[in-house]
């Protein structure tokens, strides 16, 4: 297969998607007719889908592939794996591969002594929109001690959850903040923070951040060394009032159990579903 030809086509299609997006914005700014804008949006959507087809290898025969690589699905051989037969690392990797990608948040808290703590978390999900509730699982360390993040949330009832762009300097910060520190030391170091009175700080590099209050705690069953907490969203910190701009920004994500990456890239195929109220 001619990989160079495939890469050239991908580069061209991605440029088309970017150009279409910029053109759509210009037309909206000029107040052009909705039907014209809709045509450009359809062009961008179908071109984005073409990108995904080429990336997946669905069209490899167009580039001289001599053999078809079958798609992985459950229509053929099926292997049933027993999670109890795995060690912790294997179990975490397999479950992570199935429940992925998972958005990565930096969770900011403050101790009653005023020590600022920040830690990466990916076991976070929206459990209710009305009221706005976030669920988060917080594990204990190898000695069975609750982490500072959980202790701070229990004591102060407050946490700020930050969504971040996929920048390598942020990844390095996340790697360093994941290492255990004495409770009287802060992982913030020299990083710039956005302060809001009464709430833990948010990283200035955040794409968006949620200010939350603890409303419930639940121990996990079957001897799990973790606790499930429920947080009410009381405030949203955003750099814009245009939700579409936020939705299209790439965000830092757990792609596998030990690999970070990005989702919502500009060339990703997408389809907006119509929801009933």
| CA–CA dist 156, 234 (Å, integer) | 15
> Look-up: residue for tokens 């929206």?
126
Rounded to an integer, the average pLDDT of 93-106 is 72
- Check pLDDT > 90 for residue 158: yes
Burial class of 82 by CB neighbour count within 10 A (0 to 12, 13 to 18, 19+): exposed
Cis bond before residue 129 (omega within 30° of 0): no
- Check pLDDT > 60 for residue 1: no
| CA–CA dist 266, 19 (Å, integer) | 11
Percent of the chain with pLDDT over 90: 18
| CA–CA dist 25, 46 (Å, integer) | 18
Rounded to an integer, the average pLDDT of 136-159 is 86
- Check pLDDT > 80 for residue 248: no
Token code pair at residue 118: 């920040």
Model pLDDT, residue 233: 94
Model pLDDT, residue 156: 96
**Which residues lie below 8 Å from residue 213, measured CB to CB, with a gap of 6+?**
157, 158, 231, 232, 234
Would you give the DSSP letter of residue 77? -
CATH of 87-263, one of 3.40.50.720, 3.40.50.300, 2.30.110.10, 3.30.70.1050: 2.30.110.10
- Check pLDDT > 90 for residue 228: yes
Q: Which helix (H) or strand (E) holds 195?
A: strand 193-196
- Check pLDDT > 80 for residue 87: yes
Domain ranges of the chain: 3-63, 87-263
């Amino acid at each position: 297969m001619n990989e160079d030809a495939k890469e050239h086509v991908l580069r061209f299609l991605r440029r088309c998607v970017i150009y279409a997006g910029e053109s759509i914005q210009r037309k909206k700014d000029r107040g052009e007719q909705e039907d014209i804008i809709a045509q450009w949006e359809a062009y961008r959507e179908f071109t984005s889908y073409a990108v995904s087809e080429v990336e997946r290898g669905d069209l490899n025969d167009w580039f001289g592939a001599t053999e078809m690589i079958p798609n992985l699905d459950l229509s053929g051989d099926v292997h049933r794996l027993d999670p109890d037969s795995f060690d912790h690392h294997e179990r975490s990797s397999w479950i992570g591969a199935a429940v992925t990608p998972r958005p990565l948040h930096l969770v900011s808290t403050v101790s009653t002594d005023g020590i600022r703590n920040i830690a990466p978390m990916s076991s976070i999900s929206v459990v209710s929109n009305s009221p706005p509730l976030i669920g988060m699982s917080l594990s204990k360390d190898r000695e069975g001690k609750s982490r500072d993040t959980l202790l701070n949330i229990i004591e102060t009832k407050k946490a700020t959850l930050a969504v971040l762009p996929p920048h390598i300097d942020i990844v390095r910060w996340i790697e360093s903040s994941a290492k255990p520190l004495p409770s009287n030391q802060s992982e913030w170091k020299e990083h710039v923070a956005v302060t809001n009175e009464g709430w833990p700080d948010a990283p200035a590099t955040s794409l968006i951040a949620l200010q939350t209050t603890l409303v419930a705690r639940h121990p996990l069953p079957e001897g799990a060394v973790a606790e499930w907490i429920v947080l009410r969203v009381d405030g949203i910190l955003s750099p814009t009032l245009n939700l579409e701009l936020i939705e299209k920004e790439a965000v830092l994500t757990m792609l596998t159990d030990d690999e970070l990456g990005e989702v919502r890239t500009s060339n990703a195929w997408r389809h907006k579903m119509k929801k009933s109220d």
